[in-house]
Amino acid sequence: MAKSNPNNLGSLELTMSAGEALDFMCQFLGDSRESIMLWGGPGIGKSSIVQQLVPRLGLKGWIDIRLATLDSTVIGGIPARDPNDPSKMTMLRPDFWPDEENWLVNLDEFSNCPPAIQNVALQVLLDKRIHTHKLPKSTIIVATGNRAQDGAWVNRLSLPSANRMKHITIEPRWPDVRGFFKDQTDISQYIVSFLDANNDYLYMLPQDHNVMTFPTPRSWQHFGNSLHALSKTGNVKLSTVTQLATTTVGKAAALQFEAFMQLANKVSAEDIIEKGNIPTLDPRDPGLMWAACGAVVTYFLTKCGTNNAPLKEAHVKNFFAFLKTLPTEFMTSTFKDMNWMKNKKHYEACKKHDFENFSKLSVHLKDVLGA
C-alpha cells in the first residue's frame, strides 16, 4: 500500500512500488495530462515506469531528454532573425520537442540540473510551452531524478519547480521486480530463486560512495544478461560466476550468490527429472529449498523439450512429484516460474500427461492461463 506522512509536509510524502506508481499514474494521466516527478535511487526502474506508460495510455511514443547534459539555450532554442520581419527575433525550436499529439516527454536527471536549467524547464512543466513554441495539449511530461541520500550529485529543487508537479517516491519491492525479471528471457532462474530467498539483496546502497558496484534491480538485470551470455560458452566455473557477479552487484551480494549456487549444486535436478529421485528437503532451510526449486525449473526448461532432448512423460511425472513434496508457497511459486505462456510445449505436455495435478495447481494461475 502507498504510505503517506501528513505530519511532515516538507518531505516527499507518497511512496510507492513501481507497479503501484504505474497503476496510479495511469488513472489520472489519461485525462489530466499533468506533470509528475518520480524520485528514487539509481537502478530501481523509474525509466521503466515511463516506458510502460506509453502502451498503457495508448501514446505514440516517448522522448527521453537528459536535462543535465544540455545547455539552457539548447533546451529553449537558439535566437534567430524572424524571416517574416527582420526587425524581430524568433527562437529556433530544438527538434527533440514533440510537435504531434499523444507523446510522452521524460525530463530525466531533473534533480541533477543546475538552477538555470530548472528555471528554463518551469515553463514546460506548467504551461507546456518553451518561449514561443507550444507543445501539443495531450503531451505528458514526467520528470525523474535521484535524491541526495541516493549518493547522487543533485541540486535542490526550487519550490516554484516543485510546486508545478505531483511527486511520487519509488522504492524497489521484490514482487514487482520479480514479475519484470520473469518476463526477461535472459534472466537466470537461479537469480530469481536467490532473490526469493534473499530479498534484502535486491537493493543495497553502499554507505561508502567510493564503492562502485552494489545490488539494484538494474545491476541484477545486467548480471543476468552477462550470465546468460556466459552460459552459452559451455562449462562455466562457479568462481567465474562469482567474479562476474562482483563486477555488477558487488562483492557482498556475489559471495551470497556463490553460497546459494553451492546449495543448488547439492541438489541433482537431473536425478529428480530424469530418474524420479526426489530428495527430502528440510522446510526449515528455505535457502536450500529455493535453490532446489531454481535448479529443477532451470533443468526442466533447458534440458527437456529441446531438439536434442525431447520432453517425455516421465519428465512431467517427476516434475509434479517434486512439486508435491514442497510447502505451498514454494510449490505455487515454482509452478508459476515455468512461464507457461512462453513455454507452450511444456504447457501442452503437462496438461496432457498429468492433467489432474496440472489442474489442481492451475487454480493459482487463472489470470495467466485464462482457466
Structural domains in the chain plus CATH codes? 15-170 (3.40.50.300), 174-369 (no CATH)
Strand partners, 197: none
**pTM, whole model, 2 decimals?**
0.83
The closest alpha carbon to 39, from 148, 124, 116, belongs to: 148
pLDDT value at residue 6: 41
pLDDT value at residue 302: 82
**CA–CA distance, 369 with 371 (Å, rounded to integer):** 5
pLDDT value at residue 347: 74
**What's phi and psi for 257, nearest 5 deg?**
-65, -35
pLDDT value at residue 367: 40
Mean pLDDT of the chain: 85
pLDDT at position 101 over 60 = yes
**CA–CA distance, 260 with 294 (Å, rounded to integer):** 10
pLDDT value at residue 141: 93
The predicted model gives 221-249 an average pLDDT of 90
Ranges of beta strands (E only) in the chain are: 15-16, 36-39, 61-66, 78-82, 85-92, 103-108, 129-130, 133-134, 140-145, 166-170
